[in-house]
Amino acid sequence: MPELPDVETFKRYVDSTSLHHRIKKVEVDAPRMLRVAPRILRKALEGSEFSKTERLGKYLLISVKGGPWLVLHFGMSGMLEYAKDAGERPAHTHLLVHFANGYRLAGIWQRRLGRIDLADDPVAYAEAHDLGPDALDRAIGLKDFKRMLRERRGTIKAALMDQIFLSGIGNIYSDEILFQSGTRPDVKVSGLSDARMRTLHRAMRHVLRIAIARQADPDRLPESWLLPHRYKGGKCPYCGGALQQKRSSGRTAYFCPHCQQ
């Protein structure tokens, strides 16, 4: 599932390809994902242009000049493709924005589990959908992170994945953050020491920033990380021991029982 590093990569992709081009036509075929009527979406976009972008956790918001913001959530398999507006559109395209410059931006969702919406502004949208602060928000320093954790119950993996607590982290990157901080996914938040909270905060920022720098490409992530070895039968890159799996908050967590105490 696309998480914060993936969506930040999509944001930068849109910034470098799709801004300041007049939108000639919009095609949408996503009844399960649409949160706005197709005619309203087309009316808001056609004849205008994209002017800037913002990211809210796993959500990408694209400002329509003089109008609302286009909201995209990528679900389990979503992605974007900017290319010449010629030939057949890519398979599983459910949103197609045609630009007057002869290019188009395709929103591709193989599993149709994302979201397409309009918003008046990012702050109001975050409040309306109970999105917590972005996991890379500079305003969330160590002191705030500790305070927020002390208000939580349950396991640390569940807390990291809760979009009301922090937005942007899912199953994949929560495993990496826990691995690099030496923390088991099933540890209760109430049992975390101040030192462990500090290590978690540092690991969270480090993991997300490095993943963004590598464009969230699994093949470019460091071999010393858990993620390149995160599969059944995988070995810990530190100690060489077998990784274990455990169900946590309805998801499968991978961890090293020796290195994560």
Question: DSSP character for 71?
Answer: E
The set of residues, in sequence order, having a beta carbon less than 8 Å from that of 163 and lying 6+ positions away, is: 57, 58, 130, 131, 132
Q: Which of 8, 11, 49, 58 is catalytic?
A: 58
Fill in the amino acid letter for 145.
Answer: F
- Please report which helix (H) or strand (E) contains residue 145, including its range: helix 142-150
Q: Which of 42, 89, 146, 251 is catalytic?
A: 251
Handedness of CA 37, 39, 44, 45 (dihedral sign): positive
Q: Could you give the CA distance from residue 138 to residue 141 in angstroms, rounded to a whole number?
A: 7
Known catalytic residue: 84?
Answer: no
Question: DSSP character for 129?
Answer: T
Known catalytic residue: 235?
Answer: no
Known catalytic residue: 251?
Answer: yes
Known catalytic residue: 3?
Answer: yes
Q: Could you give the CA distance from residue 231 to residue 91 in angstroms, rounded to a whole number?
A: 28
Q: Could you give the CA distance from residue 188 to residue 170 in angstroms, rounded to a whole number?
A: 18
Question: Within 13 Å and on the Cβ side, how many CA atoms surround 50?
Answer: 23
CB 53 within 8 A of CB 15: yes
Tell me which residues are annotated as active site.
2-3, 58, 251
